[in-house]
Amino acid sequence: MYALQFRKLSLGYDHQPAIHQLHAEINTGSLTAIVGPNGAGKSTLLKGVVGILTPMEGSLAFGALSRANIAYLPQQADIDLSFPITVVEVVSMGLWKEIGPFGWLNKTNQVRVDNAIAAVGLTGFESRVIGSLSGGQMQRVLFARLLLQDAQLVLLDEPFNAIDTRTISDLIDLIKRWHVEGRTILTVLHNHETVRAHFPQTLMIARELVAHGPTENVLTAENQFRARQMCEACAGPPHVCGKSAA
């Protein structure tokens, strides 16, 4: 059973496609890396799944899941760290579906928040303002929020950028735990060694589909060279690539 199905999906900005005619299925319970050169449309694809972008052509179908059951982590660069909010307040946002945006935490929910903070190794940081955190600490906060969302479909956009090695190892352990629990996980990554070591499935795109399947079959030198060629043929503003990019 698939969790997601892309049916000749095109997504983009200002009527110009950044993803063109993508056709693929993501199996329920799979742990999948999304890879490709810069400008390949990886983040755009996640935004389409979440619903931030509406398909220009084709469609995106959910299998046993729905958008109501998604936890989405954008890139840290998309988060305003100047907002005066504390660690515990950010983590508590993971419960918004249960308590609403202005709900109070009862004793049970407070325990859940404390446990999530402990699970990412930030006990004692509850009152810290997020602007005072390091990149690795902030990413731990965001993963604690994801823990509380308890979603069956988890979307992570470059979750290991600009963070320390220990934090990366700890967060990979959390991702693997979600996978064991049967959740479907899609993660945009650029480090192919991390993909080979920890992600059984890979979706390689270069504005169009390059390859999809077991990681050892997708992350080949031939596919990587083809992906670079396809993106180079589409250099400049997003547009439909010519036949030379095939």
Contact 201, 215 (CB under 8 A): yes
d(CA 240, CA 8): 13
DSSP strands (E only) in the chain: 2-13, 16-27, 31-35, 57-62, 70-73, 153-157, 184-188, 201-205, 209-214
Average pLDDT over residues 227-232: 90
Cα 112 to Cα 150: distance, rounded to the nearest angstrom = 11
The band of 243, judged by pLDDT with boundaries at 50, 70 and 90, is: very low
User: For residue 3, is pLDDT > 70?
Assistant: yes
pLDDT digits (tens, 9 = 90+) for 86-135: 999 999 999 988 776 666 778 999 999 999 999 999 999 999 999 999 99
Note the maximum CA span of the chain: 61
**For 173-219, how does the pLDDT look when each residue is reduced to its tens digit (9 = 90+)?**
999 999 999 999 999 999 999 999 999 999 999 999 999 999 999 99
* pLDDT above 90 coverage of the chain, percent: 80
- Fold of the CATH domain 1-65+188-246: Rossmann fold (3.40.50)
**pTM, two decimal places:** 0.91
Q: What is the pLDDT of residue 55?
A: 96
Q: What are the sequence ranges of the domains in the chain?
A: 1-65+188-246
What number of helices (H) and strands (E) belong to the chain? Answer: 9, 9
Local confidence band at 240 (pLDDT 50, 70, 90 cut-offs): very low
